[in-house]
Copies of this chain bind each other. A is one copy, B any other.
Amino acid sequence: MKDRSQPTRERILQAAGGLFHRDGIRAISVDAIAEKAGVTKRTLYYHFRSKDDLVATHLQARDEPNLALFKRWFEETQGDTAEKIAGIFRHLAQSARNAKWKGCGFLRTSVELINLPGHPAVVAARAHKKRVEGWLGSIFTEAGAGNDALPLARQIMLLLDGAFAVVLLHRDPSYMETAADTAARLIADRLSSAAGSESSLHERRPFADQ
């Protein structure tokens, strides 16, 4: 089980990430993490001050790659801004079809640690979500949404986190497609009206629910 190709600290972090994602933070003991990492608990405590420290470090490490993934999905999708954002949701829908998919780790962590409001992991989760929202805002600004860019980013965040929650609850990825369509429509309406009222205003977009 032990894999010496990675430095110990990274192995621990990776083991923790997998277990936290699968079962949740409070359901996983540091003994379980140490065992999965092929390491004694004592060496885990050499690399991390506490379980809380491990949780926080884990979440901080996920910030960058998570945002990068969204950016990649955005760029890889063909079409206008609305379709490119919808592409993110559709990639998420694809992920959610995997039985091992367990929603958004940032959201879940902030729920699990709700009685510790200042916990560094919660702070990291908030920061991550704000970064995503900020990135969306810059996308819409570049697309010419003007003063609507920031409110629009907030709406997309509501749909994104709503879809994370609902899909996780019902284990039904089709809600992610509903979110994709809704997001695309909200964006298209804003961008077309910003560009001038002669454009493709309100050709009704059909629903693609299940």
B112 A112 Cβ-Cβ under 8 A: yes
Complex alpha-carbon distance, A27 and B24, angstroms: 13
* Interface 1/0 per residue, A159-186 and B, CB below 8 Å: 1111111101111000100110010001
A88-131 contacts to B, CB under 8 A, are 102-103, 106-108, 110-112, 114-115, 117, 125-126, 129-130
Q: Does A207 contact B (CB under 8 A)?
A: yes
Q: Does A3 contact B (CB under 8 A)?
A: no
Size category of the A interface is 35 or more
A-B contact pairs, 6 of them (CB 8 A): A24-B112, A24-B115, A110-B168, A129-B169, A155-B182, A201-B202
A162 B169 Cβ-Cβ under 8 A: no
B114 A24 Cβ-Cβ under 8 A: yes
B182 A158 Cβ-Cβ under 8 A: yes
Interface-side segment among A45-53, A79-87, A146-154: A146-154
A151-B207, A162-B163 known, 11 other contacts, Cβ within 8 Å: A26-B26, A107-B111, A107-B165, A111-B112, A125-B169, A129-B166, A150-B209, A154-B178, A161-B165, A164-B165, A182-B186
A161 B170 Cβ-Cβ under 8 A: no
**Chain B neighbourhood of A161, CB < 8 A:** 161-162, 165-166, 169
Q: Does A22 contact B (CB under 8 A)?
A: yes
Interface SS of chain A: helix
Query: Smallest Cβ distance from A90 to chain B, in angstroms?
Result: 15
Nearest to A169 among chain B residues (CB) is: B110
Complex alpha-carbon distance, A175 and B160, angstroms: 13
A115 B158 Cβ-Cβ under 8 A: no
A111 B168 Cβ-Cβ under 8 A: yes
Nearest to A209 among chain B residues (CB) is: B151
Q: Does A188 contact B (CB under 8 A)?
A: no
